[in-house]
Amino acid sequence: MKRIGVFTSGGDSPGMNACIRAVVRTAIYNGVEVIGINRGYNGIVDNDFIELKSHSVANILQKGGTILKSARSKSFFTEEGRKSAFENISQAGIEGIIAIGGDGTFTGAHIFNQEYNIPFIGIPGTIDNDLYGTDETIGYDTALNTVVDCVDKIRDTASSHNRLFFVEVMGKDAGFIALRSGIGVGAEAILVPETKTYINKLIAKLEAGRRKSKTSGIVIVAEGDNAGGAYEIARKVKEKFNFYDTRVSVLGHLQRGGKPSARDRVLASQLGFSAVENLIAGETNKMVGMENNKVVLTPFEKAIKYNKELNPNLLKLVEVLSI
């Protein structure tokens, strides 16, 4: 293998640049040229390629976002789009591709591999940490620290004004950010998609805290919670429990940005390095991940199909520590 491509796709996450850097320099170390593909699958369809040298990735380790840009491509998920993509890859002499992203990214790679036999290795880059086959995804740790920093500030004003804050964090289908950040900030309650939310039970919990002289409260809400987003849940609670001045804060895309944490920089570097080594060695259609501090390979089918479960011990921990 003499030339490989690399791209980032889907939602951006802190540490993607560190991963690109590791991919480029590992490939060059092994005598392999690297072609950067801009804007994910859109870039393959549109032939938006750029050659990456070692100096091309200098001074990006600490930067959030992605220098290769990212997008969600509709054209690639058509037969015509994938045919155009294959022609562009063939013309560019790209023999294998490193895809950094989430389950949508790996779904596209799996389909493309099945149709055109282009070798792919995936790297899990998503703040949601919802991919099977890795303990953590690139960007998750930074997003957690961002949430904790923001909610610590919200807690200050909540305590000053006897306020109950409902803070919405990202997590449309998974509550990993909500659960760990909620524990980290000492939230009174954490609402996640994996467990059903009962408004009356939540109100009873808040009322118990009020009787114990709690003068403020924080409820962390994952955006995909079954009872609705933070605004809807706050409205339902306020109808029956209006002891506190109730406010809502939606952190939104704030969680995607910022300098990656040291943990994410190291993880991104390890996975970028391993992805290139495995691609050169002939592996394909697999995701590299980190489990128990060891790099592991998971077939795309499993990484996409299986859901990673929340740690039940952490859910129990929330109940105990929030009394």
Catalytic residue numbers? 128
Q: What DSSP element (H or E) covers 169?
A: strand 163-169
Strands of the 245-250 sheet, one edge to the other: 189-191, 217-222, 163-169, 245-250
- Helix%, strand%, coil% for the chain, nearest 5: 45, 20, 35
What 3-state class would DSSP assign to 124? Answer: strand
Sort 282 into a burial class: Cβ within 10 Å, 0-12 / 13-18 / 19+.
exposed
> Beta 49-52 vs 33-37: how paired, if at all?
antiparallel
Q: Are 14 and 105 in contact (CB under 8 A)?
A: no
Distance CA 260, CA 249 (A): 23
- Taking residue 301's Cβ as centre, other Cβ atoms within 10 Å add up to 13
Q: How many Cα atoms sit within 13 Å of 294 on the Cβ side?
A: 4
Distance CA 141, CA 212 (A): 33
Sort 16 into a burial class: Cβ within 10 Å, 0-12 / 13-18 / 19+.
buried
